[in-house]
Amino acid sequence: QWKEVIRNYQWILQEKELSLDYSIPNAILQGDASMLYAVWDNVLTNAIKYTPPHGRIDITVEKTEDSVGVTVKDDGIGMTPAELERIFERFYRADSARGRNVEGTGLGLSIVQQIIELHKGTIDVTSIQKEGTTVKMTFPTVLPTST
């Protein structure tokens, strides 16, 4: 699935001359495929949108016995601590993002957060302004059955 998302954005990666590195083993994860696709899609488009030309993006997928970790790291515009605090709010877009004619509704990450919650996963975003952003997600391989 990741490879499909990457393929979709190949043209824009080339146009912006962004370099993308990835290490993606085939990891199977229980859940809703189209929702998870929306997660990968949003996190990758954010990295693309908020990274100036010639930047780099790294995608890493790590498997353990019972979890899958997905990290998307960029060296783009980053965010201030105050901006970072609000990224999961609906319609929130940081000043640093709005200033640079990149489009967005500010809904992406709030949806991402809800989907991750449904899949009993976690998301952790770290960012330094003008240095970049790292989004780290973890999912249990098998969804716990509710009792």
Which residues contact ligand ATP (rule: CB under 6 A)?
42, 46-47, 50, 74, 76-79, 87, 92-94, 97, 104-110, 133
Cα distances (Å, whole numbers) of residue 11 to 7, 17, 62:
8, 10, 26
107: its two tokens: 């809904």
Interface pick for Mg ion out of 31, 55, 108, 132 (rule CB under 5 A): 108
d(Cα 143, Cα 140) in Å, to the nearest integer? 6
Q: Does residue 113 touch Mg ion according to CB under 5 A?
A: no
- Distance between CA atoms of residues 63 and 114, nearest Å: 22
Annotate each residue in 46-85 with x if it binds Mg ion (CB under 5 A) or - if it does not, as one string. x---------------------------------------
Nearer to ligand ATP, 74 or 115 (CB): 74
* Contact of 115 with 36, CB cutoff 8 Å: yes
Identify each DSSP E strand in 24-120 by its residue range.
56-63, 67-74
Q: Which is nearer to ligand ATP, 34 or 145 (CB)?
A: 34
Smaller CB separation from Mg ion, 108 or 121? 108
Contacting residues toward Mg ion, per CB under 5 A: 42, 46, 108
